[in-house]
Amino acid sequence: MDSPHVYIEIRQSSLKALRGEAGLELPLERTPSGGLTKACREKLTISLHGFLRKDVWQPRFRAYCAIGARGVSLRRLTLPATTKEDLKRLLALQIESEFPLPPDALAWGYRQIGSPSITIGRSKDSSGAKQELLVVAVKKEVVEEYAEILSECGVVPVFTVAALARRHAWQHPPQTCALLDVGRNYAELVSFENGVPLAVRVLPWGGESITGAITDKLGVSRDEAEELKTGLAQGHSGDAERGVKIQAAIDAALDSLAGAINGHWTGQKVYLSGRSAQLKDFAPRLAGRLGNGAQCELLDFAPGEGRSAAVLGLRTMTAPGNETALVTLQSKPTNGSAALARPAPWKWAALALGLAIFTLALPYLEAPWLKWRLSRRLKAIQADRGRLVTIDRELDFVRHLKQNQPPYLDALFLLAKAAPPGSKLDSLSMNRRGDLALRGSMKDGQQVVGFRSKLIDSGFFASVAVEEQTPTPDRQKVTVRITAQWKAANYRQSLSIGPTAEEIEKAKNRPKDAPPGAFPPMDMGPPGGIPMMPAMPGGGAMPGPRKRISAPGSPMMPSLPPATNP
């Protein structure tokens, strides 16, 4: 008959599970940050589903999981004896001061060591009584990922530390000793004194260290070194000369392991576990290098898939009567053997009944709810309707401003576009009535005629007149004074004024050494297909009275009295 529980050991690169006599071993692939890859997580979930063979109707059972010692912190705390309710609060405060992370960021558990000076349930009036606690903590993220996977498989996960569970692989565990589990890339060393763990260490030494030593000593590939190590574990060393070299390589690797152990443990008894520790003469050779009369003993148990010292220790610890030895890691403060939430079928029945009642009542609840939403919507529409008058009035005002604003920029653009190269403007005046007057200098009279013709051809100006044209004393340029009158707004609406896409592109590609503001030569034909205004014979201005306009107060042109609005 299958066991009601499953026992799992989670290493850095593998997972071992045991349920009854059935075992399972799976490789693990991790990301650089230490978490499981997406493909590995999916494969692990599918494999555990098949291994557990749990139907939906079956009750949830526990999965006791032993995690590696990497990142695990072990502390012994002495606190005043108090009631059980106050102990949780007091212990949380002590953990916050002792550990670098707050209790909410840790998965932690504790166990009482020995007998307290007074019982936990006694009154607080007893002064001076103390109690000693063993606290084990690790980052919450370490166990949360595995908890999610196991919960998807329909089991309740319980987490503890594998280094603490290995001591219970014996029916009568030793009280004072050290346990060394040799993994593939690292080894875990935990020391006990009078049955209480003192410290947990992760040593950077594993089976790969022996493989690397054999590779360097014999000059073989890593695969050949693995075959030689496997043969040595089975008692086959090959020829004598090669066997001597292999033993020398293993001795060199064991020297570094012995040095790491002596730095953390000075006792007499060391128990060994792990696949790499099963090499021939591994235990006596390590004992000889530890010195001080140390003894190394290989933990012997029946081999099989899913079996390890941690898994067998979990099974012994969870046997009836031994639960007090288990230190569970949980995200919230609990007692030493932290009771888990048991399945409650009545909760699911109550949830199903509530959903059924809600489904039946939904059509009756929908009408009042929709009526309330509709009334809110109608109130919002009525409130917005009063704003329409204000919006229309403001829009009309903005349109009026846009339609009546003087086209100063359009006039400047046309002047800059029509100005011949080398021309210079000394003064320019414009007003809202459309009168424009400019004074400047050009190369010769031909440029003056061309400039005036381009302004007329633009269709923007109703009249353009050259009021004065005088050569400079050096006869190099011609000083001109030109007046113009732009057309009314209704005539200008059909004009397309502004740079074309080709002109913008030419301006972007203008050489860096070109003078600022220089315009490339442009065709001043009528924009947008506007018919050109007929010019007067001889290049004269349009008939009718003509006023000479200048900027008020200009020293170069006579000032006119300010115009009055009709």
Task: Strand 196-203: give its sheet, edge to edge.
Answer: 196-203, 187-193, 177-182, 269-273, 295-298
Backbone angles phi, psi at 539, to 5 degrees: 75, 20
Asked if residue 436 has pLDDT above 90, the reply is yes
User: pLDDT class for 437, splitting at 50, 70, 90?
Assistant: very high
Class for the domain spanning 408-539:
alpha beta
- Mean per-residue pLDDT of the chain: 78
User: pLDDT class for 236, splitting at 50, 70, 90?
Assistant: low
Backbone angles phi, psi at 103, to 5 degrees: -60, -35
User: pLDDT class for 333, splitting at 50, 70, 90?
Assistant: very low
Residue-wise pLDDT for 353-363, tens only, equals 889 998 888 88
Residue 250 burial (CB < 10 Å; 0-12/13-18/19+)? buried
Backbone angles phi, psi at 480, to 5 degrees: -125, 155
pLDDT at 519: 43
Distance of CA 16 to the CA centre of its chain: 32
The H or E element containing residue 388 is helix 345-404
pLDDT at 372: 87
The H or E element containing residue 358 is helix 345-404
Up-side HSE of residue 253: CA atoms within 13 Å toward CB? Answer: 27
User: pLDDT class for 279, splitting at 50, 70, 90?
Assistant: confident
pLDDT at 247: 80
Domain(s) labelled CATH 3.30.1360.100 in the chain stretch across 408-539
Asked if residue 527 has pLDDT above 70, the reply is no
Task: Strand 22-27: give its sheet, edge to edge.
Answer: 22-27, 14-19, 6-10, 62-67, 156-161
User: pLDDT class for 59, splitting at 50, 70, 90?
Assistant: low
The answer to whether 448 and 466 are in contact (CB under 8 A) is yes
Residue-wise pLDDT for 135-152, tens only, equals 888 888 888 889 999 888
- Cα separations (Å) of 398 from 232, 332, 490? 95, 65, 18
Q: Are strands 269-273 and 435-442 parallel, antiparallel or unpaired?
A: unpaired
pLDDT at 323: 62
Rg of the chain on CA atoms, in Å: 47
d(CA 353, CA 360): 11
Pick the CATH number of 6-325 from 3.20.20.70, 3.30.420.40, 3.40.190.10, 1.10.760.10: 3.30.420.40
- Distance separating the N- and C-terminal Cα atoms of the chain: 113
Average pLDDT (269-282) is: 84
pLDDT at 456: 92
Asked if residue 31 has pLDDT above 80, the reply is yes
Asked if residue 549 has pLDDT above 50, the reply is no
The answer to whether 447 and 421 are in contact (CB under 8 A) is no
Asked if residue 506 has pLDDT above 60, the reply is yes
Average pLDDT (474-494) is: 88
Pick the most confident of 9-18, 125-134, 206-215.
9-18
pLDDT at 114: 67
Tell me the Ramachandran region of residue 351: left when phi exceeds 0, alpha when psi lies from -120 to 50, beta otherwise: alpha
Domain(s) labelled CATH 3.30.420.40 in the chain stretch across 6-325
User: pLDDT class for 513, splitting at 50, 70, 90?
Assistant: low
Three-class DSSP category at 382: helix
Specify the DSSP class assigned to residue 290. H
Average pLDDT (314-328) is: 77
Residue 405 is encoded by which pair of tokens?
């604003």
Asked if residue 520 has pLDDT above 70, the reply is no
Asked if residue 394 has pLDDT above 80, the reply is yes
For CA atoms 55, 57, 59, 60, the dihedral sign is: positive
pLDDT at 17: 92
User: pLDDT class for 324, splitting at 50, 70, 90?
Assistant: low
Type of residue numbered 117: S
d(CA 166, CA 7): 13
- Cα separations (Å) of 341 from 62, 152, 338, 563? 10, 16, 10, 95
The answer to whether 424 and 402 are in contact (CB under 8 A) is no
- Among 48-57, 181-190, 483-492, the range scoring the smallest mean pLDDT is 48-57
Specify the DSSP class assigned to residue 210. H
- Among 255-264, 373-382, 512-521, the range scoring the smallest mean pLDDT is 512-521
CA angle centred on 99, ends 95 and 104, rounded to 5°:
65
Asked if residue 439 has pLDDT above 90, the reply is yes
pLDDT at 233: 61
Residue-wise pLDDT for 240-265, tens only, equals 777 777 788 888 888 888 888 887 77
Average pLDDT (275-303) is: 82
Residue-wise pLDDT for 91-148, tens only, equals 888 888 888 888 888 888 888 886 544 333 333 444 567 888 888 888 888 888 899 9
- Cα separations (Å) of 521 from 230, 236, 419, 501, 527? 88, 96, 10, 15, 15
Count the neighbouring beta carbons within 10 Å of the beta carbon of residue 452.
Answer: 21
